[in-house]
Amino acid sequence: MPAQETAITGTPNYYVTEHFIYSDFICPCCDMVKLVPGFYRHVSLLEQMRREQDFPIIVTSGYRCKKYNARVGGAPRSWHLLFATDIKPEDGDPDKLKSMYEMAVSLGFGGTGRYDIHLHLDLRPKVFRWRG
């Protein structure tokens, strides 16, 4: 089989870690995710957070292609174009979100943005935190 036929396409449900699957992270318009350096570290940190918090965490946005990023009003040089995640507790509980933020900081995510209903986490190498 030619190599290109072994590429992951469609909406894969393969597990990356115990609680996260590739399709949690794909761009909704093209079903793509880039396996960039830092992807697996990022997801393993999310997994650590999920295990320690012990409540369901929803990924509301992962990889975005340029077209989709523009459509959702993302910054032109958004980290989502490489890889980033927006996450929230499944039930939207603000106390859980606060606890996820504190854990994201202690786990060592580079970019950590705290918004009213979600957190943005990305691959930037230096620690940068903001309140959205």
> Could you say whether residue 30 binds Zn ion (CB under 5 A)?
yes
AA identity, residue 86: D
Size of the site for Zn ion (CB under 5 A): 5
User: What does the block give as tokens for 4?
Assistant: 């290109």
Q: How far is the CB of 110 from Zn ion (least distance, A)?
A: 24
> Could you say whether residue 127 binds Zn ion (CB under 5 A)?
no
CA distance 82 to 66: 10
User: What does the block give as tokens for 6?
Assistant: 């072994």
Binding mask 51-90 for Zn ion (x = CB under 5 A): --------------x--x----------------------
Q: How far is the CB of 65 from Zn ion (least distance, A)?
A: 3
> Could you say whether residue 27 binds Zn ion (CB under 5 A)?
yes
Residue 64: other Cβ atoms inside 10 A:
26
CA of residue 111 relative to chain centroid, distance: 12
Check if the beta carbon of residue 97 is closer than 8 Å to that of residue 81: no
Q: How far is the CB of 44 from Zn ion (least distance, A)?
A: 24
Which residues are at the interface with Zn ion (CB under 5 A)?
Answer: 27, 29-30, 65, 68
